[in-house]
A and B are shown apart, each in its own frame.
Chain A
């Protein structure tokens, strides 16, 4: 599990790569928190094209990240969600809370 970040004009893009489960979630959340607190993004784009697996740990992680960004006055969207992740997130109704692009 790793993340790659790029930032331009306080638009932070984060690529999440690898498998996301309880084993990896805490470290990932710490990394994401650090990036968000450092960039204070007006907009956060989470790119999930490299996410090869997620379970419900990903649901909590997305919701928490969404709240964090909102508290800082920013917006967030999720892009390139793979089929497996989509099925997990949709089971929780995340599409009604967080904007997903291109699904």
Chain B
């Protein structure tokens, strides 16, 4: 069976939307009949990316965040989270475990978690223009052999 479906969500960078965004991602992923662990991995990765957009992308204003969810061929869920905020000067450095510009309320583990909880993580960013995080996760089929 070839699944092909998508949805787009747009919301302001208010922290109350962190829970909303990960719930939407979990609901959308449900059509792939994921395990509880797969759902939790997806929620965690979405929470990291959306929190980054809120905390780092828009440190002193409310800006726009978009989340696109798509089911691609071979049961691959693609999640694209985008902000139009500050951007990242050095993406390679930002992805290093424990690297943070966020002080003691942050641990510098967000990208590391996205990377290890998903199959694939791509980060594109430009200073002053914003950041786009693309994550992919294949959901194993439990009924088809």
Contact = CB atoms under 8 A, between A and B. Distances in A.
Interface of A: 19, 21-23, 25-26, 29, 53, 55-57, 59-60, 63-64, 83-84, 87-88, 91-92
Given A84-B44, A91-B116, A59 B19 contact: no
A87 B113 CA distance: 9
Nearest to B98: A92
B51 A88 contact: no
Secondary structure of the A contact surface, majority rule: helix
B116 A56 contact: no
A64 B104 CA distance: 8
Contacts of A92: 107, 109, 112
Nearest to A61: B105
A21 B19 contact: yes
A15 to B, nearest CB: 20
A22 B43 contact: no
B54 interface: yes
A55 B54 CA distance: 14
A55 B104 contact: no
Contact of B107 (A19, A23, A56): A56
Interface in B110-124: 110, 112-113, 116-117
What 10 pairs between A and B have smallest CB-CB spacing?
A: A23-B15, A55-B47, A59-B107, A84-B40, A60-B107, A56-B109, A22-B51, A92-B109, A21-B18, A23-B18
A96 to B, nearest CB: 13
A63 B108 CA distance: 13
A21 B105 contact: no
A25 B107 contact: no
Given A55-B51, A56-B48, A84-B40, 16 more contacts: A19-B19, A22-B55, A23-B19, A53-B22, A55-B47, A55-B110, A57-B105, A57-B106, A60-B104, A60-B106, A60-B107, A64-B104, A83-B40, A87-B41, A87-B117, A91-B117
A3 B48 CA distance: 23
